[in-house]
Structure 1
């Protein structure tokens, strides 16, 4: 199958996934999941055209996506989860389109969703006012509307399960649902038993929300206590200048800007600890954290914050979890504890499931009716 052009009038496959954005990780996963057309709004900066080959991709805004679905033979539709407020209107339009097909005596579309949200969209806004209250009222009604149309839902993190039980109990009351943590299996990219016990790795966007300032503030304390420790920062982003200035003064720090994926995997195989100190913003909270998942898949110990939806699982399985406001000394202490433990990759991998959590979710969501 060739990649569908952005002007495609319909999805080629009866199974459709509705995405807000598509990035390299989505494309990699799409080759593993059951075949499906992907209707998406925009590409992320790391969209890999080579990985897009062989996938049926349709780039479409909200109205056009609805038209594509209306014209397509959609038997199964995976939507963005109801608490993903940024895509609520697009999702509601898509559901209206597939339900309109029933007037043409087409089979009812099975609607499923994979839920990993852990940020309450109804927490106090930064700028309360009439406009904000009206927006929240509309969002609440759309969330309820979308939730009522969902037939099956997989909850990908304990935090998501708690949030939906509190905020959208109707979804869990009527839809088939199950908790399948978003955990990986061991990556098959190469041998995972060659960790450097002094190597610490950050992979991700050089942004405040990814905890880059917190990591840079803690690192001098880590290196002072453990002079053999080394830090590699892989990525790019608005804080790139700060990262490069920091590394220029510290020979034990290496910066790698946006390398090819095989190089990222090679560094993950070598690192002892993967770090992602996620910080909440006014409109965003880390759901899982791809660097967390990839670190686990390569047998790394993980240091993260309570912001990720997997925080409770990570804490229970011997990884480091700190508050997002933790002082540099506390972050350094947590990182040093993981380095000192010298946890073997095999020990980390032993805690992971036999089937990748997202693949297991896909199988459960799209099993025969």
Structure 2
């Protein structure tokens, strides 16, 4: 939140769903109001008191951004169809307010969407189908009203180019900044994380779409190939009971359900491999994968699928990237090989940018000066 009496023009970030990563990032960014509707399962209540986000519905959110006179407002990206009505309400409210106040509020967005909204499963009933058609129209309208777009992946930039168009009279300014973290500062500069081969970590939502069932299915083969391997499961989700069952039957499997962030960081420092074999499910596709980003920041070797938007970068950097359709055949051998011969942790950290790319993108989106779009 902005400090009362602050003379600088205020900015706002409008999200449909707020998660811990947003709160942590807000502490490193210039002051801005955060308006959200829902929170994710990983919501850290301890950070709420420090960031002070406001939980408001769509209409209330639109009213607040119109009344407060923000300089810049960040919205959810247009390709996020489940968020587009909130974004459209905010953009419309700003358009009306700008006419009355004779000003121009800048609308910006960070885009990592990598699934064509036109290709999502269509509802069968006529009313939801009408709603989907309206959402697609709103997405295009919001896109035309967006002033700056920072793409987090090349896959997302290509999607927007084909679906919404990057050229034209009302083209927004845009740039691409690969969604990579800076090395985590919980590992002191020059220090080597306490890692050893064979330590595998699954972090996050214990669900089929994140590939946790595939990890459990592959674990027996991984153990046979690498008898000293240890699997640590950190998170919660629909398959938590299966995780506990596996741990009871195998003393080389550990389960830590929904721990505080300091425990998560400790496990990341110990792990040599982070595995997140995501696959598409319904209208969902992995955009980047926060556990992958956090693993890289702690010097971990990553094993994932080609669904993530940073798959090309991971493959070039020597990490394990598996075609999502080949998980059953390839996950066990690729995971065992990565656990037996992980990349050097310092080499992993050295491959990352010195500044978190999301912070770099934010600085570009909220910069006061006009930045010409790339040719």
* TM-score (norm: length of structure 1): 0.93
Deviation at 1:210, TM superposition (A): 1.0
1:335 aligns with 2:335: yes
The residue aligned with 1:351 is: 351
- What is the DSSP-based 3-state SS (H/G/I as helix, E as strand, rest coil) of the residue aligned with 1:304? strand
Instruction: Say yes or no: does 1:178 pair with 2:175.
Output: yes
The gaps in structure 1 that reach 5 residues or longer are 5-11
Matched, 1:110 2:106: yes
Q: Separation in 2 of the partners of 1:151 and 1:127?
A: 32
8 Å CA contact retained: 2:193, 2:298 = no
Residues of 2 paired with 1:51 and 1:183: CA distance? 23
2:16 match: 20
Judging changes above 3 Å, is the alpha-carbon distance between structure 1 residues 3 and 217 closer, same or farther for their aligned structure 2 residues? farther
1:68 counterpart = 2:69: no
Partner of 1:8: none
1:147 is displaced (CA, Å) by 0.5
For 2:118 and 2:243, how far apart are their aligned partners in 1? 35
Segments of structure 2 that go 5 or more residues without pairing to the other structure are: 370-375
1:306 match: 306
Give the aligned partner of residue 198 of structure 1. Answer: 198
Q: Which residue pairs with 1:364 in the alignment?
A: 364
Q: Structure 1 residues 2 and 249, CA, compared in 2 at 3 Å: closer, same or farther?
A: farther
Asked if the contact 1:2–1:55 (Cα under 8 Å) also holds between the matched residues in 2, the reply is no
* Structure 2 CA distance for partners of 1:345 and 1:368, relative to 1, 3 Å: same
TM-score calculated relative to the size of structure 2 = 0.91
Shift of 1:196: 1.6
1:153–1:365 Cα contact (<8 Å) kept: yes
Shift of 1:340: 3.0
2:16 is paired with a residue whose SS is: strand
Runs in 1 of length 4+ with deviation above 4 angstroms?
1-4, 126-133, 170-173
C-alpha contact (below 8 Å) 2:180/2:356 kept by paired residues: yes
Query: Is the Cα contact below 8 Å between 2:210 and 2:278 reproduced in 1?
Result: yes
Structure-1 separation of matches of 2:182 and 2:272:
17
Deviation at 1:33, TM superposition (A): 1.8
Describe the shift of the 1:329–1:227 C-alpha distance in structure 2 as closer, same or farther (beyond 3 A): farther
Instruction: Determine the structure 2 residue equivalent to 1:188.
Output: 185
Tell me the equivalent position of 2:281.
281
1:262 corresponds to: 262
Deviation at 1:16, TM superposition (A): 0.2
Residue of 26, 34, 38 corresponding to 1:42:
38
1:230-245 alignment runs, 5 A limit = 230-245=230-245
CA RMSD after TM alignment = 2.0
